[in-house]
Amino acid sequence: MKQLYELKRDPKNWIDKRLRGIAIRQNLTDEWKEWWIPAERDFGLLTAEIANATSKNPPGVAQ
């Protein structure tokens, strides 16, 4: 992923944040699996809620 972002000429600080976010989400979904969150669809809903709560520009919203 990092190489793809670099090829797209995304800023290094954005790439670093994005990769950390991906790693954190993976850890979080692993934890949810242990707590029996029932479906991948639910993972998407939960992470979308987290993104909405922590971002000025949630996924899917144009700037």
Q: Domain residue spans in the chain?
A: 2-49
* For residue 63, pLDDT beyond 90: no
pLDDT attached to residue 48: 80
Where does the pLDDT of residue 58 fall: very low under 50, low under 70, confident under 90, or very high at 90 and above?
A: very low
Q: Which two tokens stand for residue 48?
A: 């979308």
pLDDT attached to residue 61: 45
Q: Which two tokens stand for residue 37?
A: 């969150």
Tens-place pLDDT, residues 1-50? 899 999 999 999 989 988 888 888 788 878 877 877 666 677 677 778 77
pLDDT attached to residue 4: 92
